[in-house]
Chains A and B, each alone.
Chain A
């Protein structure tokens, strides 16, 4: 018998030490006591006024005790259930789920090769692919429904476009508090009432503050509504290092955490115990192009560090990966997407969004979604780590086959090779075979696969009666805003 053994059931990855996390946490608390944040929402300011916080105009400074108290009330587990009825998404420490990003105004048109405005139809196509591809665990709209009758109600139309072809759990953006209320009503219809939705939420609401340390009216309106109804929500700062946050990653993490902690207190004052998820798209401003970078290595590094912090705080984490600054799906896109997919996965963030983004979060590409399916598979394979039990050490087999022997026909190989990653798009053929098969590039194969899925995949349709009820909510909203 052996003693004192440790076995890694997966690969291990961490950016920050516990002492570094503590430094960042204490610094964020210091920011809230010394600098505070601004809030442009009357009810929220009123909540802070009636607490131990100090409110001067729109500026709120928060004592550490309030933060520490609020932090005790957030769940360490949220389970999401899509309209397919499966409680498929367990958000808990070091359990990772991948999903798309949302609201891209443009779409890469596969026929013309040019970008154009995103439509309802583009979102239904993205929904279909996400439903079909098994490495996607949740769906954000990818594109924005740009052809809704009124921009003020686009979010309801977008939810319908998503629901039409995708049965998986979702992360939803909304126009404002009223928009979120409609989405929530629709979610309750799908799950069978408010209580069922609370136990089996089908979506998480995406909400963001404005860095540095600013909370605008609509963001707070959504956040307080989510708190009131206990709708899972992430409040996800999007600081750009060097522009809306310090140019040092540590400084950006401190500020981003302060923004998150302010939200935890605000939600706690409204209604203790809402399922709030920590977030952060933490990256740099490109100093040549003045663009917010989705492909910078600093995004990967800062995001992984942010996830370390979230785990230390016992908060669930919404992170970023599979995204690129490249204008089209090319070598740059593949390199950048692979890097941030890889490290976001290893970090153990719970919801990794923006998978498939190109053109720094402005351009939607269905083909990019298909390429990322393959890359997510590769990344997950790496995460599995290495089994070192007797069967896997294979000593008897090595002895049996001996020097100069072969393994390809052994039972051991027959049983274990299926543990490997099985490529669907990667080409590993020899040169002659590759030429014979048409000398296709990865891009060619991705195009074919995308078309094949769009032509052949049939998602479980939305039940007709329910569909009518849901459209009623959308139509009512359109009437109100006509």
Chain B
């Protein structure tokens, strides 16, 4: 058996979900280091996809297909990677706040994070404040994402931030908020760390934030 990391990159860019899973498995079977598959096979592929999206050469249905391919490969790789090797590809817990039944925005953010190699736990819509806190305790995510599409449900996000403080875990977690009526200013006002204006910038903003934190 042999493996070709270039082929993995190329297949990921083409968004061939099943083929990429096969190639990832073949690489593991050929004793390729999992970290090498991630860093030299998959990540350069997703970087390329991200670049193409920004330049208007790729569009959402295509990008999401690549993200799905990435996610399926990561399912195989993740158990074989150490915490350190996972690098920036951490865990995201995401949901829509209580009283709000909007799905697609947070789903898109989740998919984009999966595309970046994240493990994504989507707790769903209309989630009471305590569910966010409980999920944070249970999954110990790097990022907790909250979405609100209505001006009437926006205040729930600030309440969750306060509940995290009360639970004593606020500083162990990075809070990101988003949704059409939300702004950067509002995010700061309620004490969130990050604001994602849309699905693509959410990932970029998070990456920049952790890169800065490292330095």
Name A's B-contacting residues (CB within 8 A): 404, 406, 408-409, 413-414, 417, 429-433
Cross-chain contact of A433 among B59, B64, B107, B197 (Cβ < 8 A): B197
Is the CB of B100 closer than 8 A to any CB of chain A? no
Q: Is the CB of A432 within 8 A of B104?
A: no
List of 7 A-B pairs having minimum Cβ-Cβ separation, nearest first: A432-B197, A414-B61, A430-B197, A409-B64, A413-B61, A430-B198, A417-B61
Residue pairs across A and B with Cβ atoms less than 8 A apart, 25 shown, are: A404-B103, A404-B125, A406-B103, A406-B107, A408-B60, A408-B61, A408-B64, A408-B107, A408-B108, A409-B64, A409-B68, A409-B111, A414-B62, A414-B65, A417-B59, A417-B61, A429-B198, A430-B180, A430-B198, A431-B197, A432-B184, A432-B201, A433-B197, A433-B198, A433-B201
Identity of the chain A residue whose Cβ is nearest the Cβ of B64 in the assembled complex: A409
Identity of the chain B residue whose Cβ is nearest the Cβ of A424 in the assembled complex: B56
Is the CB of B188 closer than 8 A to any CB of chain A? no
Name B's A-contacting residues (CB within 8 A): 59-62, 64-65, 68, 103-104, 107-108, 111, 125, 180, 183-184, 197-198, 201
Q: How far is the CA of A332 from the CA of B84 in the complex (A)?
A: 59
Cross-chain contact of B65 among A409, A430, A432 (Cβ < 8 A): A409
- Which residues of chain B come closer than 8 Å to A413, judged between CB atoms? 61
Q: How far is the CA of A414 from the CA of B65 in the complex (A)?
A: 9
Q: Is the CB of B59 within 8 A of A408?
A: no
Q: Is the interface of B mostly helix, strand, loop or mixed?
A: helix
Q: How far is the CA of A406 from the CA of B198 in the complex (A)?
A: 17
- Which residues of chain A come closer than 8 Å to B108, judged between CB atoms? 408
Distance (whole angstroms) from the CB of A449 to the closest CB of chain B: 13
- Which residues of chain B come closer than 8 Å to A408, judged between CB atoms? 60-61, 64, 104, 107-108
Q: How far is the CA of A433 from the CA of B201 in the complex (A)?
A: 9
- Which residues of chain B come closer than 8 Å to A430, judged between CB atoms? 180, 197-198
Q: How far is the CA of A429 from the CA of B53 in the complex (A)?
A: 13
9 extra A-B contacts, CB within 8 A, seeds A409-B111, A417-B61, A433-B201? A406-B107, A408-B64, A408-B107, A409-B65, A409-B68, A413-B61, A414-B65, A430-B197, A432-B201
Q: How far is the CA of A170 from the CA of B106 in the complex (A)?
A: 52
- Which residues of chain A come closer than 8 Å to B68, judged between CB atoms? 409
Q: How far is the CA of A431 from the CA of B198 in the complex (A)?
A: 10
Q: Is the CB of B103 within 8 A of A432?
A: no
Q: How far is the CA of A327 from the CA of B1 in the complex (A)?
A: 71
Q: A406-B104, A408-B104, A409-B65 are in contact. Are A432 and B60 (CB under 8 A)?
A: no
Q: How far is the CA of A92 from the CA of B154 in the complex (A)?
A: 58
- Which residues of chain A come closer than 8 Å to B198, judged between CB atoms? 429-430, 433
Q: How far is the CA of A417 from the CA of B62 in the complex (A)?
A: 10
- Which residues of chain B come closer than 8 Å to A429, judged between CB atoms? 198
Q: How far is the CA of A49 from the CA of B104 in the complex (A)?
A: 77
Q: How far is the CA of A163 from the CA of B125 in the complex (A)?
A: 61
Distance (whole angstroms) from the CB of A200 to the closest CB of chain B: 37
Q: How far is the CA of A430 from the CA of B197 in the complex (A)?
A: 7
Q: Is the CB of A432 within 8 A of B64?
A: no
- Which residues of chain A come closer than 8 Å to B60, judged between CB atoms? 408
Identity of the chain A residue whose Cβ is nearest the Cβ of B65 in the assembled complex: A414
Q: A406-B107, A409-B68, A409-B111 are in contact. Are A432 and B61 (CB under 8 A)?
A: no
- Which residues of chain A come closer than 8 Å to B103, judged between CB atoms? 404, 406
Distance (whole angstroms) from the CB of A157 to the closest CB of chain B: 40
Q: How far is the CA of A408 from the CA of B198 in the complex (A)?
A: 15
Identity of the chain A residue whose Cβ is nearest the Cβ of B197 in the assembled complex: A432
Q: How far is the CA of A406 from the CA of B201 in the complex (A)?
A: 21
- Which residues of chain A come closer than 8 Å to B111, judged between CB atoms? 409
Distance (whole angstroms) from the CB of A103 to the closest CB of chain B: 37
Identity of the chain B residue whose Cβ is nearest the Cβ of A412 in the assembled complex: B61
Q: How far is the CA of A414 from the CA of B111 in the complex (A)?
A: 16
Q: How far is the CA of A406 from the CA of B124 in the complex (A)?
A: 13
Q: How far is the CA of A406 from the CA of B64 in the complex (A)?
A: 12
Distance (whole angstroms) from the CB of B17 to the closest CB of chain A: 10
Q: Is the CB of A432 within 8 A of B62?
A: no
